[in-house]
Amino acid sequence: MTTTASEQAQALVGRHYRATDHYEVGREKIREFARAVQDGHPAHRTESAAQDLGYDALIAPTTFASILWVLVQHNMFESVLTGYDISQILQTEQSIKLHRPITAGDRIQCDSVVESFRQFGDKDFMVVKNVLSNQHKELLQTAHTTVVAQTGAEVADAVEEAVDGVIMSGQSLAARSQAESCRDEPSIVECFDEVIPDNVVDETQSRTPRTIPAFEELTVGMELPVSEARVSRGDLVNYAGVSGDSNPIHFSDKVAAAVGLPDVVAHGLLTMGLGASYLSRWLGDPAAITEYGVRFAGFAPVPAAAHSGVEFRGRVKSLDAEQRSATIALTGTCAGRKLFGRATAVVQLR
């Protein structure tokens, strides 16, 4: 009996998978990622600045783990969700609970669970939970990724041809199929123990923030300063290389046109990263961001010969005096287009 992609996904709900190898975080990779998301905080570049915040090594930017999310997503769809074509997968929402910053030297273990599955017409929606911990049994992040997969129609020949003509070597549909048939070892394996390892440490409850604004300086409804990030095609190519997200809609006019886009568009996770950098600049302490979530609603087109401007605004949505925390509502727009359907962050304050 033939199993459809949807039946395959439904059968995976609640099952636990673990990457077969850890990801080791390098200090130069942190610096590269910080440049890619335009985050100039010195704690991403010098050990002395990180030490001022209480850490012995460089701190990674808030969305640094997007490197792992992209990797896990590819591994999931190539290993256990094989009925889907990766080119038809779109990320619609990303949320993170940050227990402790990722730092240089961390050897990250990633555990993944398919939490839910639902169908709307010819689209399948899946929520995957990723739990990151390091070699010291410190809990780093708990992230939820929502993806949608098109199931009702095969990829149009024109789109497939356009993609295979420009995509990175080894990533075309034919090359992926060949690699799949030749793979000796799986990149992820099913596990039957707890998703969160025993005795992990959650720092969120114990750290004293070192933010520029103090909790007492904030009021509900207060507006954060407006800031604009300038994004060029060079920024998109750089982010693709640093993050591992090589989808050609972010660099190829031909592919963007084939899928109905008006121009090459910025990565959704890049715009999320730029939003986190905006918050980090205002806070002065990147480790003070403890939760961050974005529902993607639009796209930022980037023409071939000019920059696009992405404008960020923030507003204090609520305050928690007991926790000395604030919930910030974030907006991002490009050429009048709303990029986020919803974006919020919880930040701890001194």
pLDDT of residue 338: 97
pLDDT of residue 344: 98
Whether the CB-CB separation of 246 and 167 falls below 8 Å is answered with yes
pLDDT of residue 201: 62
pLDDT of residue 163: 67
User: So where are the chain's domains?
Assistant: 5-348
Element (H, E) at 304: none
Phi and psi dihedrals of 124, rounded to 5?
-105, 130
pLDDT of residue 299: 93
Burial class (CB in 10 A: 0-12, 13-18, 19+), 330: buried
Q: What are the average pLDDT values for consecutive 10-residue runs of the chain, which has 350 residues?
A: 81 94 97 98 98 97 95 86 76 96 97 94 92 93 92 58 65 53 69 72 77 98 98 96 90 86 94 98 97 96 96 98 97 96 97
Long-range Cβ pairs for the range 150-157 (8 Å, 24+): 150/88, 150/122, 150/123, 151/4, 151/5, 151/6, 151/84, 151/88, 151/122, 151/123, 151/124, 152/121, 152/122, 152/123, 153/122, 154/85, 155/85, 155/87, 155/88, 156/258
pLDDT of residue 145: 96
Whether the CB-CB separation of 164 and 86 falls below 8 Å is answered with no
pLDDT of residue 323: 94
pLDDT of residue 199: 60
Q: DSSP letter at 137?
A: -
The neighbouring-strand residues paired with 308 are 231
pLDDT of residue 78: 81
The pTM assigned to this predicted structure is 0.91
Domain made up of 5-348: CATH architecture: Roll (3.10)
Candidates 88, 70, 78; CA nearest to 240 is: 70
pLDDT of residue 258: 83
